[in-house]
Structure 1
Amino acid sequence: MNLEILTPSGKTYSGEVMGVQLPGITGSFEVLDNHAPLVSGLKAGQLKIFVEKNRNELYQIQGGFVEVLNNKVTVLVEGSKPVE
């Protein structure tokens, strides 16, 4: 599935991933291939990207929203930066 992380200053991530773990406003949740359509609020926290087996990337995000539709995950947040 395709993941994009967008902020007011531009795109901070774009690529094919196996899944993503998001800090929802009512708790953390994961989105995997063929997930049902979804729109949800996000709180500030860590977003974990499952890039491939045994390889993950972490991003620190500020609050925003996520939309899941047709194997595309679009994360719209106020700010995002990779965690080293």
Structure 2
Amino acid sequence: MTLEILTPDKKVFEGEVTAVTVPGTLGSFQILKDHAPIISTLEDGPVIIKGNSNGEEIFNIKGGVVEVLDNKIIVLAEAVVA
């Protein structure tokens, strides 16, 4: 799967992943290969990325939207905080 995390001013992450956990409005949920198409709003919280070989990366976002379609995940975040 490919993942892009975008903010209004830059692309924060782009790459191949095996799983992504996002902070949905009704609770966090995980996206795996062949996930059904979905668009969901996101709350403030961590986006946890599991890569093919490089372990785990975490980006803390300030709200946004996630779209999943054909094994491509796009996270549009208001901001990413350190």
TM-score band by shorter chain is over 0.9
Residue in 1 that maps onto 2:65: 65
What RMSD in Å do the two structures reach over aligned CA positions? Answer: 1.3
Is 1:4 aligned to residue 9 of structure 2?
A: no
Residue in 1 that maps onto 2:22: 22
- TM norm structure 2: 0.94
Unaligned runs of 5+ in 2: none
4+ runs deviating over 4 angstroms:
none
Displacement of 1:80: 1.5
Number of residues paired by the alignment? 82
Letter in 1 for 2:22: L
- TM norm structure 1: 0.92
Output the CA distance in 1 between the equivalents of 2:70 and 2:52.
Answer: 20
Residue aligned with 2:51, SS: strand
Unaligned runs of 5+ in 1: none
Residue in 1 that maps onto 2:80: 80
More strand by share: 1
State the percentage of identical aligned residues: 48
Output the CA distance in 2 between the equivalents of 1:7 and 1:41.
Answer: 15
